[in-house]
Amino acid sequence: MREGQCKIAVKVGSEQELLGLRREAEEAGLPCSLVEDRGLTELPAGTVTCLGIGPAPSNQVDRITGKLPLL
């Protein structure tokens, strides 16, 4: 944890799926945060664009995201 964490980007099919992953992470007690666009370019402000999970041991994050395809 003191040496940093790897970052892996995976893809979901919908915002609902992303919100479901957030719920799973919260239920597992993992730190997580939704990222919303500021609306300065192509997306409207408030558009949910990503979910950060961690820092946490990779085996715990993999229980939630391991089935998803890499981006």
Provide the number of structural domains found in the chain. 1
Cα Dmax for the chain: 36
**Which pTM does this prediction carry?**
0.87
Confidence (pLDDT) at 56: 92
pLDDT tens across 33-62, in order?
999 999 999 999 999 999 999 999 999 999
Residue 34 β-bridge partners: 51
Helix and strand tally (H, E) in the chain? 2, 2
Confidence (pLDDT) at 30: 98
Per-residue pLDDT at 6 exceeds 90: no
Q: What is the dihedral of CA 20, 31, 26, 63, to 10 degrees?
A: 70
Confidence tier at 1 by pLDDT (50, 70, 90): low
> What CATH number is given to the structural domain containing 49?
3.40.1490.10
| Domain range enclosing 38 | 15-65
In angstroms, the CA 63 to CA 53 distance is 12
